[in-house]
Structures are given as structure tokens and as C-alpha cells.
Structure 1
């Protein structure tokens, strides 16, 4: 049984994860971390430094501001950390990379298996498609999402950019009176209502348009991916390193 400390347990995703974990035979949430105090089936602490419950892995669905305390606790207890939060600064990403040399760290911009399959397809086709197609990334989320563009949109855009030999540049949104340059990769963010998450990669050529699209119909897809990541990271004697959803997918093949 993999025991989990859930950071951000009283947020929207935290509640979805808690409910799904109740019926899971291989894992258990044994403690939560959240500044909001709500009744829960497990003890909840306002800061992980106050947590007195032993666990096998930390799962974070909170805010980037929690990173330092999570890492301090993870190193002190020598337990892996699964980071599902987005919006980290460059300095925080460097801290995550440095910490992964000491303890196992998992970071993914999107926990959906489907999104990661789309991302793997982009690795294979982006270099070829760029020759004859303009590339645009459009993401849609609910009106309460803080960061824009989404971490997933940046994940997809970075994959496209990294697999194109020619020099490209990001254009965030579009305005003005100038023509689009071919070297641009457009990234557009839409916020409204209760949209769970949509990501659309458009390859627009002469006389044809190809789209790769992923739509999350509920938050369950992210919760299921996160719990699978916890099972993967909670295995005995996992070595320090930086892991992502590709490692989870490969392990299940």
C-alpha cells in the first residue's frame, strides 16, 4: 500500500483525488496539507513542516509558493515528491532539478495520459510539419485558472520547438498590423466559465489544416494520472532523478 501526503487537499483537484483514492486498492491518502480547514477523512495540517504522519510519497496540487517547504520536508524524510502544480519560475525549476539529485522528483505540466501521448506524437512530426505548415497552440481553461498560458500549452510548444532544427520563436496572442512570420509558434490562452481543459495544436498549410486536440471532460483524468504517478514513485528503492509521465507510461507497457 502506497501512503500519500496530499498537498492542496482542500482545493478542487485535491478533493477529486481524495474521492478517487477512497476506492483504490493500492494506495491511501494518510494526511493532507492545506491552509483551508475543512472536515476530512484524514488529518490535515496547515504546513507540511507540521505533518507528523509517515508516508511513502508527497503529491502536490497546490501553488508554486509551497515548493520550498515541500522540498525541505521531502529531503528531511527522504521520500519522493510528485509535483502537479504549474506556474513555476525558472529559479524554481532549477531548484527542482537540483533536488532530483538528492531524492526522486516527479514533475509534469499535465497528468493526463492522453496529453502525454499527444506530446509524444508532436516529438515525431513537428520537424517535418514545420516545413510546409504554420503552427499554432490554443488552450482553454476555466475562469479561475491563475497562470496563462497553461503549463500544458508550454509543454506542447516546447516539444514542437525542440524538434524543429530551424530557429523559431513564440508569439503569445496576436495583435497589430503585421503579417505572421513562418518562424512563429503562436500560443493563445482563453479563460472562461468552467472549461476543464482543452489543448489544440493546429498545423495550417496551403489548402489543408491538421489538428491534434485533447479535451479533458472532467478533472478525473488528471487525478487518475497523479495517482498512477504516486504508485510509480512509491516503488521500493526508486533512485533519485527527475521523472515525468513518460516514465509512468513506459512502466505500464
Structure 2
């Protein structure tokens, strides 16, 4: 399987390059990165997607959310399936992806980790049984992560909110708030420091008891391996919008 890797010279891009070279049935034929000459790669790297001449079976995008429109346009123009692993996407970005999925297969998730998606499913199931409990989400990442809260925190929060028919309100931190917590809130808190790869904890706090569901990432490899699995999954799919739940069925 031939892959174009967007964000090939970024931190996650380098992990993907390393892991894909260890795979027997997949290869990177081209890269796209704003810092095209930062590393010496065994494949051509273009600064802009429109410059890419190679034809791939799938594009994996692990770049920056600001580059999404350009990557999406290239995917549509070339009718190439697209795996979006980039976080920090806006509501408008997701709307554009959904619309584009009518013409090409698109896979998008806030986190490529198998464990995180199991946590998300468990949290949603817990929410259906603990409807009167207060729910708080704490996410921790390294000090160079630019988006906050994380895409994974949104993934978890949105999944939990589905159990409440999307009636819950997201509250980001509590600085400056001079009122007690409301039942309809889901608190989301971001911590940035050191070299934390990623840690997400969902807290269900009820009268005299607390339940915590937690996932800790020990390396970036888990996200890259998930993206590779998603690319293989997407290659044979028809036009449509897919996520980790579709792949794990």
C-alpha cells in the first residue's frame, strides 16, 4: 500500500516514518511538510500538497489543523482516501470533512490509540448508569502541545454527552467562576508540562463514592500504529465518514 504522509517531518511524522519502514506491506512514497528540508527522507517531500506528483492509495495527515483545507482539497482533487489524525479541529473543519466524505473515504478520530477509544466507550457506558454523578475530565500533555483541551478530551466529552442527549455543557477550568457547580456541567481541564506523552482521566463523583477511568500513553508509537491500521482499513472502503468505532467492530 502506497502512502502520502502529511506532516512527515513533525514529531508524530517521524514516528510514523520509523514504524512504516518496519512494515512489509506499506510504504511512504511522498511526504508533505511546511519544513520540507528539515530531515533527509528516502522519499520526496513537498512543502505544499498541490506540488505532490505521486499517486497514493491513502493519505495520512498528522500535520497541523491549519493545513487541513489544503490536504482535503488535494484528497478530493485526486480522489485519494484520507486518514485525519490531526487534533485541534474546529466545528467547521469537521463539517468540511463530513461533506467531503460524500466523495472520498475519510477516517477521523481525536485519538488513534486503541486503549483511548476503549476508555471512551467505557466512559459513555458509565455515564448511562451514573446520571446523577458529577463528571470531570483531566488531560495531561507535554509542554509543547499547542491545542487545549486535547482532541481526545473532546472525543471523550462528546461521547459522554451523547448519553445525555447532548444536554451537558462543557466548562473549561473554573477560574473566575463565582458559583457552585451545576449538574449539567462536564468539566474539562488541561495540564501541560515536561514530556508527558498523554494522560486522560474521567472522574465520576457521586455522594460518598468516586469512580475514575484512566488511560496513560507511554510512547507516541501507539498513535502511529493506530494511524497505520486506519490507513489499511480505509483503503478498501467506499465513500463515507469513518472513525475508530467502525474499525474496532
What TM-score do you get using the length of structure 2 for normalisation?
0.95
Matching of residues 81-100 of structure 1 within 5 Å = 81-100=82-101
Is the CA contact (8 Å cut-off) linking 1:127 and 1:165 kept in structure 2?
no
Q: Deviations over 1:207-251 (max 9, x none)?
A: 21110000000000000000000111112xx2110001112212x
What secondary structure is seen at the aligned counterpart in 2 of 1:85? Answer: coil
Number of positions where the alignment pairs a residue of Structure 1 with one of Structure 2: 246
- Residue 26 in structure 1 maps to residue 58 in structure 2: no
* Cα distance in 1 between the residues matched to 2:154 and 2:75: 27
* Cα distance in 2 between the residues matched to 1:172 and 1:79: 37
- Residue 229 in structure 1 maps to residue 234 in structure 2: no
Structure 1 segments unaligned to the other structure (5+ residues): none
What secondary structure is seen at the aligned counterpart in 1 of 2:188? Answer: strand
Other-structure match for 1:197: 198
Other-structure match for 2:73: 72
Is the CA contact (8 Å cut-off) linking 1:134 and 1:185 kept in structure 2?
yes
Is the CA contact (8 Å cut-off) linking 2:135 and 2:204 kept in structure 1?
yes
Is the CA contact (8 Å cut-off) linking 1:107 and 1:243 kept in structure 2?
yes
- Residue 129 in structure 1 maps to residue 130 in structure 2: yes
Other-structure match for 2:155: 155
Other-structure match for 1:12: 11
Distance change in 2, residues 1:98/1:166 (3 Å): closer
Shift of 1:78: 1.1
* Cα distance in 1 between the residues matched to 2:163 and 2:188: 17
* Cα distance in 2 between the residues matched to 1:3 and 1:24: 12
- Residue 168 in structure 1 maps to residue 157 in structure 2: no
What secondary structure is seen at the aligned counterpart in 2 of 1:39? Answer: coil
What secondary structure is seen at the aligned counterpart in 2 of 1:19? Answer: helix
What secondary structure is seen at the aligned counterpart in 2 of 1:102? Answer: coil
Other-structure match for 1:56: 57
* Cα distance in 1 between the residues matched to 2:11 and 2:179: 41
Shift of 1:166: 8.2
* Cα distance in 1 between the residues matched to 2:51 and 2:77: 13
* Cα distance in 1 between the residues matched to 2:75 and 2:52: 12
What secondary structure is seen at the aligned counterpart in 2 of 1:170? Answer: strand
Structure 2 segments unaligned to the other structure (5+ residues): none
Q: Deviations over 1:52-76 (max 9, x none)?
A: 1121000000011211221221112
Give me the CA root mean square deviation: 1.2
Other-structure match for 2:103: 102
Other-structure match for 2:246: 247
